[in-house]
Amino acid sequence: MTDAPSRVRSLVAGNWKMNGLEASLNAAAAVRDALPGLGANAPGVMICPPATLLTALAAVAAGSALTVGAQDCHPAPSGAHTGDISAEMVKDAGASAVIVGHSERRADHGELDRIVREKAAAAHRAGLTAIVCIGETKGERLAGLTLDVVRRQLRASIPSASTAANLVVAYEPVWAIGTGLTPKPADVAEVHETIRKSLIGHLGEAARGVRILYGGSVKPDNARELLALPDVNGALVGGASLKADDFLAIIAAAA
């Protein structure tokens, strides 16, 4: 455990991945409409839809406590990069954050820590919060390398000018994503403590305010236990964020 408990407002972010058509905006609207009833301890709530829905979701969220994030951005502000979107475009579409370095991007698109850092820096350049994902594979965990891996990924993927206001770290063990498996609570706590110490080493004391989310098979029935752990400041939720009732149950567990 770190010396002082962090008093940061937690964040529950839904990552819709490559799911969602216009009709899915109804689920976002249901989440939006439930937020005022959650009380003063409610976490920040964000939905990260596919890029095709960013603008429409920003319209759904306008004037409410719901915020919007993208799932990726290109490092450059504009240019000849067919199929990519820049952090500036994400901002222009009405988002306030962008996920970078998700393990599915690292695996599907060969993204290395250096690119992830460039994307996080692009997010900061555009005035967005970067949600930087890190986490070990099953093989790395079995080999006892988890803490080394997350320290290395943090060192290489976090821009040195990051602040508590523009950086969120998501610890997502690759083997826990979409599998229904989660690490033991003590293991989650150990990794989050390591991330906090590492962040303080890189960014100074202000890093106590950086939110560290847990992600990987967060569900309504395990959210309360995971979210109560030290240095767990919220969750990045994939599959369970697609249904408003499940996502709201996780949000309630963070309140």
Q: How many chain residues touch ligand PGA (CB under 6 A)?
A: 13
69 binds ligand PGA (CB under 6 A): no
Q: Between residues 159 and 173, which has the closer beta carbon with respect to ligand PGA?
A: 173
Which range in 141-149, 161-169, 200-208, 216-224 contacts ligand PGA by CB under 6 A?
Answer: 216-224
Annotated catalytic residue within 74, 102, 124, 192: 102
Q: Between residues 141 and 208, which has the closer beta carbon with respect to ligand PGA?
A: 141
Neighbours of 230 (CB within 10 A): 15
What residues between 151 and 180 interact with ligand PGA by CB under 6 A?
172, 177-178
What residues between 4 and 23 interact with ligand PGA by CB under 6 A?
15
Q: Which residue is nearest to ligand PGA (CB)?
A: 238
Among 142, 194, 148, smallest CA distance to 169 is for 194
User: Are the C-beta atoms of residues 209 and 166 closer than 8 Å to each other?
Assistant: no
237 binds ligand PGA (CB under 6 A): yes
Q: Between residues 157 and 208, which has the closer beta carbon with respect to ligand PGA?
A: 157
User: Are the C-beta atoms of residues 43 and 255 closer than 8 Å to each other?
Assistant: yes
Annotated catalytic residue within 104, 124, 172, 192: 172
Alpha-carbon distance of 57 to 241, in angstroms, equals: 14
Is 118 assigned a catalytic role?
no
Partners of 223 in beta bridges: none
Q: Identify the sign of the CA torsion 243, 236, 32, 251.
A: positive
Tell the smallest beta-carbon distance from residue 6 to ligand PGA (Å). 22
188 binds ligand PGA (CB under 6 A): no
Residue 212 φ then ψ, to 5°: -115, 110
**Residues counted in the chain:** 255
The first and second tokens of residue 134, run together, are 């890190």
Tell the smallest beta-carbon distance from residue 236 to ligand PGA (Å). 4
> Which residue from 118, 217, 227, 233 is in contact with ligand PGA, where contact means CB under 6 A?
217
> Which residue from 54, 215, 250, 251 is in contact with ligand PGA, where contact means CB under 6 A?
215
Q: Is 204 buried (19+), middle (13-18) or exposed (0-12) by CB count in 10 A?
A: exposed
Is 102 assigned a catalytic role?
yes
The first and second tokens of residue 182, run together, are 């989660």
User: Are the C-beta atoms of residues 196 and 212 closer than 8 Å to each other?
Assistant: yes
- Catalytic residue numbers, as ranges: 102, 172
Residues lying near ligand PGA in the complex (CB under 6 A)? 15, 172, 177-178, 215-218, 236-240
